[in-house]
Chains A and B, each alone.
Chain A
Amino acid sequence: EDKVVQSPLSLVVHEGDTVTLNCSYEVTNFRSLLWYKQEKKAPTFLFMLTSSGIEKKSGRLSSILDKKELFSILNITATQTGDSAIYLCAVSRNSGAGSYQLTFGKGTKLSVIP
């Protein structure tokens, strides 16, 4: 069975701190690893990683994948209160007929306090 483990499960930091969120996985027919941010409603897409060692960056957020060690990290620098959310890691695998199922971790709840 596919497995995605995120750590820590929750994290409280002060504004301006840098945080690193971890995601390890075991999946058959791995296709890609995705990071989502979930505030009150729908998960919103952050990054999709398919190749090892290539950092993806968007503003203060960055992520990298290690396909040999089967993990990814999500970094957030100079955190702001608006970064408070649950960060979800998911791995996708080919489930046939052109569809890709995502297996999610339990998420890391990040709280940024002023």
Chain B
Amino acid sequence: DTAVSQTPKYLVTQMGNDKSIKCEQNLGHDTMYWYKQDSKKFLKIMFSYNNKELIINETVPNRFSPKSPDKAHLNLHINSLELGDSAVYFCASSSQGSSEAFFGQGTRLTVV
């Protein structure tokens, strides 16, 4: 069973569209994250979220919004996609009080 799974694995879309990436974890973790990895392979935190609090990296445009229907899911919704949003987006999770994050396989988003 995949611990942290994301769908879709690949997403190609036009500028201006709205899209969502889904993430689910079956590890029973309390905290989930979204990271963005750019073309130079630099991984950067976008959001961290648990039942109590959403923490947003202030550099993330407000076109990006995480939505969590329950503890096991944290979806990423992106409005008005731009060319610069092209990247690989990784979902991750960790247990309460632990630094160790488990990553999903990534979603490669290409905006054309």
Which residues of A approach B to under 8 Å, CB–CB? 31-32, 34, 36, 38, 41-45, 48, 86, 88, 90, 92, 95-104, 106-107, 109
Q: Is the interface of A mostly helix, strand, loop or mixed?
A: strand
Check B98–A100 contact: CB distance below 8 A.
Answer: yes
B15, chain A: closest CB distance, angstroms: 26
A-B contact count (CB 8 A): 78
Check B99–A92 contact: CB distance below 8 A.
Answer: yes
Instruction: Report chain A residues within 8 Å CB of B35.
Output: 102, 104
Which residues of B approach A to under 8 Å, CB–CB? 4, 30-31, 33, 35, 40-45, 48-50, 52-53, 55, 90, 94, 96-106
With A104-B44, A107-B41 known to touch, is A98 a contact of B103 (CB < 8 Å)?
A: no
Check B97–A104 contact: CB distance below 8 A.
Answer: no
Q: Complex formed: what's the CA distance from A95 to B44 in Å?
A: 15
Q: Which of A44, A86, A99, A103 is B94 in contact with, Cβ under 8 Å?
A: A99
